[in-house]
Amino acid sequence: MKKVLILSGKGGTGKTTVAAAFISIEKARAFADCDVDAPNLHLVTARLPEPEIFDYYGMGVAVVDPDLCIGCGLCAESCRFFAISMNADSVAVVDAPACEGCGLCERLCPVGAIKTEENVAGRRMLYTITGEPNKDGVSSKGRKTVFSTAELRMGSGTTGKLVSEVKTALYDHADKDVPIAIVDGSPGIGCPVIASITGTDLVLLVAEPSVSGISDMKRIVETARFFDPQIAVCVNKADTNEGKTAEIIGFCAEENLPFLGRIPFDSHVTAATNAGSSIDRIDCPAATAIRSIYNRVREMVLEYPSAAEDK
Amino acid sequence: MKIAVLSGKAGTGKTLLSVNLAYVAKEATYVDCDVEEPNGHLYFKGSEDAKRTTVSRKFPVIDDGKCTSCRVCVDFCRFNALAMAGETVTLFDNVCHSCGGCAILCPSGAISEEDRSIGEVSDYRVGSVRVLSGKMNTGEAFGIPIIRTLFSRIDPSDGTVVVDCPPGSSCAVMESIRDADVCVLVAEPTIFGSHNLDMVARLAKLFDKQIGVVLNKYEEGRENPSEHYCEENGLPVFEKIPFDKDLGMHHSEARIAAQEEKRYAELFSGILGKANKAASGGVS
């Protein structure tokens, strides 16, 4: 199974629109949403059945037993995350959202007053679609289609771990003969993005033609290159700033990054999104452009030797 | 007054609103907390001459000569950042959270810690606006120490503080809104926008913050799921920023719209006024 990941660095450039269209064009039988901070792919994926839902446990959170606490302050002094302070009564108090669950306070407490307790930090969803294909192309030929996604609880950390679980669930449950899995990534260049890139065969960057968009694209290219997938670029809303689109195409040429095409600004996209549909099902300029880009993605990823199996 | 500008979804217009609010506030500090993809410095030009400070965090260094392969550190590390490779301990620095536990617990003193740069903070002035901008090194996983450094530099005597938050509702966002007087949520007119507005509105409520929404890319007469959300949930709408090619082009070219045209200065001054009122406890 080849793995195609859609990223952008900057948010709001059209990752999910492109990913949903790719899924529909490929009639993908394996896909995932790794933007666990703000997942949206399920909103434009037609006719999903009820998912299997799993609690996601974060790293745990420190809990103090105030009756046992002797007020020595060792925990507060040692916490690198400023998650424990001593209150007016000299009792340790945990700021749960700041706690990263390292367990050091529990280990150091001389009277055993602190326990690192399991905390539900989000939920992971696995949709399995079997049976006849529906007319939206979500399932294909009666075989199994798997969609893996998750939602982090507000303000929880450890997004990378949840992203890894989403990917593992996808690869474990998808049929082995699936040619291409499509994964929608998250914005930025940090923890969840890095977790999503590992084991990916091809990263498609959806760039935005603006000064900010170009700055952000360069940083995600640098980040992706730590992991050695194939990297390709397309521009969304290309005609909103032709000068900057030309600059992106020039950058790709300099950096030897395949430039796969330009998607025009198209008001059908907002309308399709709000109807909960992929743009691919509408005959419009953006859909035509995305189809042509996907053909090139497909060629690139199928020709290339597979990335190491993700574990 | 401290205004946190946030949105669950990325690319809705946080930076557009933040740089323009700071500009019209005159005496202001603009804080760019989107340390993974900072853009504010592209609008407030002059970052080349900024005072820069490196932000580091501590990573363990294992002295193989002193290590007795007792596994105390490996067994302690809940992030699986330390593993035994044969007789020696190997660090996977990408998953290390710098808790410092391994160095404290090692019974043979084989683990020390060294500071390693994870990014930098720039501090400079453009006119009467002080700009504080954080930038994480590419390849790093966690930017929170950079956000903490940014906040430690804020001086309330520098006027209105406008915090341009990272996208999402993760730990980095919470860190950014912790001390805010008012949260301004920027939403775009799609179901993605309203879905993510819901997430971030709940987060702001969790912290018991004053809230106002700015509907971006607003088109009269077109369906706007984010507007519906505000109506249904009783969230005050501070302003509707129209879908406007001129505004879009200023922003795309990294120009501060309020500086370019009076009509935009008025638009953003209006939003600032409502944020001020909400922050002082008034109902908008």
A260 phi, psi to nearest 5 deg? -100, -5
Closest residue in chain A to residue B41, using alpha carbons only: A212
Local structure of residue B75 (DSSP, 8 states):
H
| Same-domain status, B92 and B135 | no
Asked if the Cβ–Cβ distance from A191 to B141 is below 8 Å, we say yes
Average pLDDT for A91-111: 94
Across the interface, of A97, A102, A274, the residue whose CB is closest to B97 is: A102
- Let me know if residue B191 belongs to a domain: yes
| Encoded tokens for A299 | 């060629």
3-class DSSP state of B44: coil
Domain assignment of residue B29, given as a range: 2-55+120-279
A132 phi, psi to nearest 5 deg? -65, 150
pLDDT for A310 equals: 43
B230 phi, psi to nearest 5 deg? -65, -45
Across the interface, of B166, B171, B251, the residue whose CB is closest to A97 is: B171
Q: CA B226, B230, B231: angle at the middle one, nearest 5?
A: 115
Query: A76 near A86, Cβ under 8 Å?
Result: yes
Which element (helix H / strand E) includes A289? helix A285-303
| Encoded tokens for A162 | 């949840």
CA distance A217 to A186: 13
Place of tokens 């530099």: B153
Nearest CA among A246, A211, A212, A253 for reference residue A232: A253
Domain ranges of chain A: 2-57+123-303, 61-117
| Same-domain status, B253 and B186 | yes
Report the Cα A305 to chain-centroid distance in Å.
24
- Let me know if residue B100 belongs to a domain: yes
pLDDT for A136 equals: 54
For residue A156, what pLDDT band results from cuts at 50, 70 and 90?
A: confident
pLDDT for B268 equals: 98
Shortest CA gap A88–chain B (Å) = 21
pLDDT for A311 equals: 37
| Same-domain status, B106 and B181 | no
Shortest CA gap A189–chain B (Å) = 6
Report the Cα A102 to chain-centroid distance in Å.
24
Average pLDDT for A293-306: 91
Report the Cα A20 to chain-centroid distance in Å.
13
- Let me know if residue B284 belongs to a domain: no
What's the CATH number where B61 sits?
Answer: 3.30.70.20
> ipTM value of the model?
0.89
| Same-domain status, B134 and B124 | yes
Q: What CATH fold (topology level) applies to the domain A61-117?
A: Alpha-Beta Plaits (3.30.70)
- Let me know if residue B188 belongs to a domain: yes
Q: What is the mean pLDDT of chain A?
A: 91
Q: Is A37 on the interface with B (CB under 8 A)?
A: yes
pTM value is 0.91
The sign of the CA dihedral A66, A72, A73, A77 is negative
- Please state, for a pLDDT cut of 70, what percent of chain B lies above it: 97
CA distance A262 to B282: 47
A241 contact residues in B (CB cutoff 8 A):
249, 252-253
Query: B124 near B49, Cβ under 8 Å?
Result: yes
Asked if the Cβ–Cβ distance from B136 to A10 is below 8 Å, we say no
Closest residue in chain A to residue B176, using alpha carbons only: A155
| Encoded tokens for B31 | 């804080």
Q: What CATH fold (topology level) applies to the domain A2-57+123-303?
A: Rossmann fold (3.40.50)
CA distance A127 to A32: 10
CA distance B200 to B170: 10
A188 contact residues in B (CB cutoff 8 A):
10, 34, 36-37, 166-167
| Same-domain status, B65 and B193 | no
Asked if the Cβ–Cβ distance from A100 to B199 is below 8 Å, we say no
Q: How many CB pairs under 8 A join A and B?
A: 173
Across the interface, of A43, A186, A189, the residue whose CB is closest to B191 is: A43
A116 contact residues in B (CB cutoff 8 A):
78
Query: A15 near A208, Cβ under 8 Å?
Result: no
| Same-domain status, B184 and B245 | yes
Shortest CA gap A170–chain B (Å) = 22
| Same-domain status, B223 and B255 | yes
Shortest CA gap A108–chain B (Å) = 9
Residue A18: count other Cβ atoms within 10 Å of its Cβ. Answer: 28
- Let me know if residue B231 belongs to a domain: yes
Nearest CA among A7, A50, A66, A20 for reference residue A202: A7
Asked if the Cβ–Cβ distance from A10 to B10 is below 8 Å, we say yes
| Same-domain status, B34 and B50 | yes
| Same-domain status, B69 and B159 | no
Least confident of A137-141, B66-70, B106-110: A137-141
pLDDT at B281 over 90: no
What's the domain count of chain B?
2
Least confident of A123-127, A305-309, B60-64: A305-309
Going from the C-alpha of A64 to that of each of A85, A150, B100, the distances in angstroms are 11, 30, 20
Asked if the Cβ–Cβ distance from A226 to B138 is below 8 Å, we say yes
B42 contact residues in A (CB cutoff 8 A):
211-212, 215
The string of DSSP codes covering A31-65 is EEE--TTS--GGGGS-S--PPEEEEEE-S-EEEE-
CA distance B1 to B24: 14
pLDDT for A154 equals: 75
Asked if the Cβ–Cβ distance from B191 to A276 is below 8 Å, we say yes
pLDDT tens digits, one per residue of B134-190: 999 999 988 888 998 999 999 988 889 999 998 766 666 877 788 899 999 999 998
Alpha helices in chain B (DSSP H): 14-24, 40-43, 72-76, 101-105, 144-153, 171-177, 191-206, 225-233, 245-252, 257-260, 262-279
B140 contact residues in A (CB cutoff 8 A):
190
Shortest CA gap B168–chain A (Å) = 5
Q: Please tell me the number of Cα atoms within 13 Å of B157 on its side-chain side.
A: 0
A47 phi, psi to nearest 5 deg? 50, 60
pLDDT at A29 over 80: yes
Query: B148 near B119, Cβ under 8 Å?
Result: no
Longest CA pairwise span in chain B (Å): 73
Report the Cα B208 to chain-centroid distance in Å.
19
Best mutation site among A102, A194, A248 for testing chain B: the one with the most B CBs within 10 Å?
A102
Least confident of A153-162, A244-253, B28-37: A153-162
Q: Is A149 on the interface with B (CB under 8 A)?
A: no
A12 contact residues in B (CB cutoff 8 A):
9-12, 188
> Which are the contacts of B123, defined by CB distance < 8 A and separation ≥ 6?
B50, B51, B52, B53, B130, B131, B132, B153
| Same-domain status, B208 and B88 | no
What does chain A come to in residues? 311
| Same-domain status, B125 and B231 | yes
Nearest CA among A240, A231, A230 for reference residue A262: A240
Q: Is A245 on the interface with B (CB under 8 A)?
A: no
| Same-domain status, B172 and B200 | yes
Closest residue in chain A to residue B255, using alpha carbons only: A211
- Let me know if residue B269 belongs to a domain: yes
- Let me know if residue B47 belongs to a domain: yes
CA distance B33 to B163: 7
pLDDT tens digits, one per residue of A210-243: 999 999 999 999 999 999 899 999 999 999 999 9
Asked if the Cβ–Cβ distance from B167 to A222 is below 8 Å, we say no
Across the interface, of A43, A157, A244, the residue whose CB is closest to B252 is: A244
Place of tokens 């049976």: A131
pLDDT at A309 over 90: no
Asked if the Cβ–Cβ distance from B136 to A190 is below 8 Å, we say yes
Asked if the Cβ–Cβ distance from B192 to A59 is below 8 Å, we say no
Query: B144 near B172, Cβ under 8 Å?
Result: yes
Strand ranges in chain A using DSSP code E only, listed in sequence order: 2-7, 30-33, 52-57, 61-64, 84-86, 92-94, 114-117, 120-129, 145-152, 180-184, 202-207, 230-236, 259-263
Asked if the Cβ–Cβ distance from B39 to A216 is below 8 Å, we say yes
Going from the C-alpha of A250 to that of each of A34, B126, B234, the distances in angstroms are 30, 31, 48
